Structures are given as C-alpha cells and as structure tokens.
Amino acid sequence: MPSFDKLASKYKSLRLNSTAESLTDIVRMAESNELSYIQFADILVTHELSSRDEKRILQNMKRAAFPILKHLEEFDYHFQTTVTKKQISRLLDFTFIDNRENIIFIGTPGVGKTHLAIGIGIKTVEAGYKVMFTTAMALIETLELAELKGELKKKINAILKFDVIIIDELGYLPMNRKGMFNLFQLINALYEYRSVILTTNKNFTSWGDFFFDDNVAVPVVDRLIHHSHIFMLGGDSYRLKQKISA
C-alpha cells in the first residue's frame, strides 16, 4: 500500500496541489464517516476546485489594483440617501457585465462614488470576473506612454482582457489633446464589448470643460451612457462629516 507521502507526490505531479496538501485529512475524514468511493471522489474534486477558485479570486483581486478595500457592506445609505441599497444590490446579479452595460456615478467629491465603485468591483471579482481599477489621470498617462512607444493598440488590447474597467475621478483635471484622443480610442474599443464603472464630478453637459473639445466629449459621452446605469449622488462630503465629527 502506498504511503500518504507517495500519494501526495503523485497528486502534485498532476498539479493537484491543494488535494495533495490536504490528502491526509480528507482520507481520515472519509474513513471516519464511512463514505462510499463515489462520495470520496466527489470530496477530492470539490476540494481541488474550491481551492482553485479561491486562488483565482486572490490573484484577480491583486490584478484589480484597488487602492483601498471599500466593501458595500460598509456603505452608509443613511448618509447618502440619493442611492438606495436595493438599487446597488440589483447590480450584483452581474447582468450588466453580460449585457456589456456601464455604471456611472456622478457627484461632488466625498459623496461615496469611489466607495460604491470599488465595492461593486470587489463583488465582481468574488463572482469570478476580472476587474481593473485605475484613476482617469493614471489611465491617460498609461495610454500616452504606450502611444509614445508605438504600443497604444497593444495596451488597449491588454485592457480589453478585463471584464470590467473602473475609471475613477474623470473630470477632476483637464486633459491635453493627445490624452483626449487616446482615451476616446479606449472608450470606443470598450463600447458594447466590455463594461465600465465610471466616477466623475462633472455632469455630462460639462464634459467639454476638461475635454476642451465637444467633438471628442460628445462621442465619449454617447458611448458611455448608451446601455448604462446612471446614479446622481447628492449631499455633503462624507469625509468632511467624519472630520467634523472627530
């Protein structure tokens, strides 16, 4: 009869590492519960699949590059009353991803736009999707650098590998002409192919202020708001409220 070490080695050779590591405990549990062969086989494969799912989620959380973890469970709907928990919860069936729809949060600084975007992003990763988080300015700089290297198309294709792209803080700072057109190329590539979660402090009618060109602003707005869920967040800054309370 082979030893546990030899069996574990065989499982590792098949890249069933989690099963190999837990083999002793699984076998002893099966014996103590007098499980049938098919029950034992099911436990082995379920354990391995579960472990792989957990590892994939951890990897995708790292790749998402969230600047901070903001969970939806922590969001204060009593303070931010212009959006309801039911409205956000409806998005968590993730049909917006399958239908290539966008989510847009509009409001002044500190009203919870980024919290909601990251919170939905975390739930999306946990559901098995791939998410990318970036600020608008960081994205523009990345695209501009890629364009200077002659690799803009390559960079856009790399971004398209994510299911959801979160673009935070669009409109806080103006863009140069090259940045405008690079961003337009990305939005055009994402249109009806991938979902975007966008936060901005500007209403759509004011997008010409930071694009400097309505000929670019209008088609970008058109592509983003088509098939989108738009939330207008009002009220005072939550961060300011916390600062005053302290």
Q: What pLDDT does 243 receive?
A: 41
pLDDT of 144-181, one tens digit each? 999 999 999 999 999 999 999 999 999 887 778 888 88
Comparing CA positions, the residue from 115, 28, 110, 19 lying closest to residue 67 is 115
**195-200 and 164-170 as β-strands: parallel, antiparallel, unpaired?**
parallel
Q: What pLDDT does 15 receive?
A: 81
233, two tokens: 């967040």
Q: Across the chain, where does the E strand assignment appear?
A: 102-106, 131-135, 164-170, 195-200, 228-232
d(CA 146, CA 97): 27
Q: Where are the domains of the chain?
A: 4-61, 72-245
Element (H, E) at 39: helix 37-64
Helices (runs of H) and strands (runs of E) counted in the chain: 12, 5
10 Å Cβ neighbour count for 76?
12
Q: Are 117 and 166 in contact (CB under 8 A)?
A: yes
Classify each residue of 26-50 as buried b or exposed e, where b means 16 or more C-beta atoms within 10 Å of its C-beta: bbeebeeeebeeeeeeebbeebbee
Low-confidence ranges of the chain (pLDDT < 50): 240, 243-246
Residue with tokens 């009353």: 81
Topology adopted by domain 72-245: Rossmann fold (3.40.50)
Q: What pLDDT does 207 receive?
A: 76
Comparing CA positions, the residue from 224, 181, 184, 178 lying closest to residue 200 is 224
Q: What is the 3-state secondary structure (H, E, C) of 162-190?
A: CCEEEEEEECCCCCCHHHHHHHHHHHHHH
Which residues sit opposite 136 in a β-bridge?
none
* pTM of full prediction above 0.95: no
d(CA 2, CA 61): 39
Name the average pLDDT for the chain: 89
d(CA 230, CA 136): 18
Comparing CA positions, the residue from 72, 70, 94 lying closest to residue 163 is 94
57, two tokens: 């989620």
10 Å Cβ neighbour count for 5?
11
